[in-house]
Amino acid sequence: MAYFFPEASHTFNEYLLVPGYSSSSCIPENVSLDTPLVRFRKGEKPAITMHIPMISAIMQAVSGDRLAIALAKEGGVSFIYGSQTIEDEAKMVANVKRHKAGFVVSNSNIRPDQTLRDILALKEKTGHSTVAVTDDGSASGRLLGIVTSRDYRVSRMDGSEKVETFMTPLEKLITAPEGTTLKEANDIIWDHKLNSLPIITKDGRLSSFVFRKDYDQHKRNPLEMLDSQKRFVVGAGINTRDYAERVPALLQVGADVLCIDSSEGFSEWQQRTIAWIRENYGESVKVGAGNVVDREGFRFLAECGADFVKVGIGGGSICITRETKGIGRGQATALIDVCKARDEYFEETGIYVPVCSDGGIVHDHHISLALAMGADFVMLGRYFARFDESPSAKVNVGGTLMKEYWGEGSNRARNWQRYDLGGDKKLHFEEGVDSYVPYAGNLSDGVRLTLSKVRATMCNCGALSIPELQQKARLTLVSSVSIVEGGAHDVVLKTVNEKNG
């Protein structure tokens, strides 16, 4: 007869935190959100510690190079999606690693024989007003000039006018040679009242830009995730099929941490993948694994050598695994069970394997609940897909700005590496949907607002760090009636568009 778990399967919405004693030192500015990303031994420090407990999902609609840079600036880590060619994924990782603390690799580039119409289309696509004109239209081509919004007037120019006729040519630009330090570059910008400074290689090719606006942003980002060479930390997704080719390519361009992207991690396929990495690279390469939903799944991956373990099956907003296959477990229950197993494993072995809660995060307070239940960090898809920096298109749906968002198990993603069980490569049925999410502006503003709520909640619990929250947190199950009580009720809400006075 089948085994039946003794308790019901619960979600985050069914729990609340009960406040604890808060001392006068429990104020948000004193809260540290530092958290380990990879396994470590008792008494040692982890090889990678994040400054905020957030990583982005390994999804086409979420984790491109732009988002990876933006999240690293805030103190988190992005995992570039692996459902693309090895070459394309490696290129994205390389773009992040080249974006060296203030030196921006240009992603708005054009050839001199293109037109004003092309400039406007590029600006619409990237949102950038500074466009590099290179001989081949690439980010590393020979620099010929620059186009900014001051170089053209749409109302007085024909859309077919060639870029070379209105660009600011190279001889009129102030540039700096490759090897210029960030301080030197900023001094040049301020001395010459520039908005941007092109950095040029010895043979005249564009290396990067330094922007005036980034100076203030850099000062505003004390939590930046940087490696030993002052480059942004970035992760990358791999699968259990082409890892022998994909892993070396990603490591060669500087990927700091890998993660097996799979809907179900309690499998021989993941065991083989981790074993191959350990055989070829030892412990130097960090790789997360998952997903699992119980104690047995965690123990299996921890003993395989996973550097962190992801928890969650079917809880994502675009995931339909539960209704398609009847597989999964309520995210809160799964997380609590796995985190207990994590602590048991630590007691037995002295090895701490961080746990990532993946899926089921709908509201900001769910992050606080996940951390209190034992998660070291959370993986977010829908949350990050809403921002400017995600790779998906911004569209107007019924008068509301939205961003496209689709699951890796959807027909659009065609990601057989994630969902198949070792058979053929054909996608026989979908486990994800294609959808929209409300547009939410830039990542920095969104993340900082979310984490201000998390810090305030931790103070209510009398905790100034994530480990302290996990020790002090008190959680209570709530009824369906009390869930209603927790929101606005029995009042008539004022409309957003109500006019003043």
304, 319, 356, 459: the catalytic one is 319
pTM above 0.85, yes or no: no
Can you tell me the mean pLDDT for 327-343?
95
Amino acid at the residue 236: A
39, 231, 418, 455: the catalytic one is 418
Q: Which pLDDT band, with edges at 50, 70 and 90, does 499 fall under?
A: very low
CA distance 94 to 235: 11
CA distance 40 to 357: 19
Q: Which pLDDT band, with edges at 50, 70 and 90, does 489 fall under?
A: confident
| 319 included as an active-site residue | yes
Distances (CA, A) of 239 to 109, 173, 265, 295, 411: 32, 46, 11, 23, 18
320 has pLDDT over 70: no
pLDDT, residue 406, reads 81
138 has pLDDT over 80: yes
Angle between helix axes 65-74 and 86-98 (nearest 10 degrees) is 40
205 has pLDDT over 90: yes
CA distance 63 to 305: 25
155 has pLDDT over 90: no
pLDDT digits (tens, 9 = 90+) for 17-61: 999 999 999 999 999 999 999 999 999 999 999 999 999 999 999
The helix/strand/coil state of 181 is: coil
pLDDT, residue 500, reads 45
Higher pLDDT, 105 or 215: 105
pLDDT, residue 251, reads 98
444 has pLDDT over 70: yes
Q: Quick one: how far is CA 46 from the chain centroid?
A: 20
Q: Which two tokens stand for residue 35?
A: 């958290």
Choose among 413, 412, 86: nearest CA to 241.
86
The helix/strand/coil state of 326 is: coil
Q: Which pLDDT band, with edges at 50, 70 and 90, does 101 fall under?
A: low
pLDDT, residue 416, reads 44
pLDDT, residue 323, reads 62
Task: Report whether 130 contacts 195 (CB < 8 A).
Answer: yes
Choose among 285, 224, 300: nearest CA to 68.
224
pLDDT, residue 125, reads 82
Q: 472 — phi, psi (to 5°)?
A: -95, -20
pLDDT, residue 501, reads 45
pLDDT, residue 267, reads 95
CA distance 240 to 229: 31
CA distance 345 to 325: 31
Task: Report whether 440 contacts 386 (CB < 8 A).
Answer: yes
Burial, 180: exposed, middle or buried (Cβ in 10 Å; 0-12, 13-18, 19+)?
buried
319 has pLDDT over 80: no
Higher pLDDT, 393 or 76: 76
User: Which of the residue ranges 221-235, 319-333, 474-488 would you say has the lowest mean pLDDT?
Assistant: 319-333
9-39 residues labelled b (16+ CB within 10 A) or e (exposed)? ebbbbbbbbeeeeeeeebeeeebebebbbbb
pLDDT digits (tens, 9 = 90+) for 361-415: 999 999 999 999 999 999 999 999 999 999 988 888 989 999 998 877 655 555 5
The helix/strand/coil state of 217 is: helix
pLDDT, residue 428, reads 53
Task: Report whether 392 contacts 67 (CB < 8 A).
Answer: no
**Which residues, in sequence order, are CB contacts of 13 under 8 Å at separation 6+?**
362, 366, 483
CA distance 184 to 207: 16
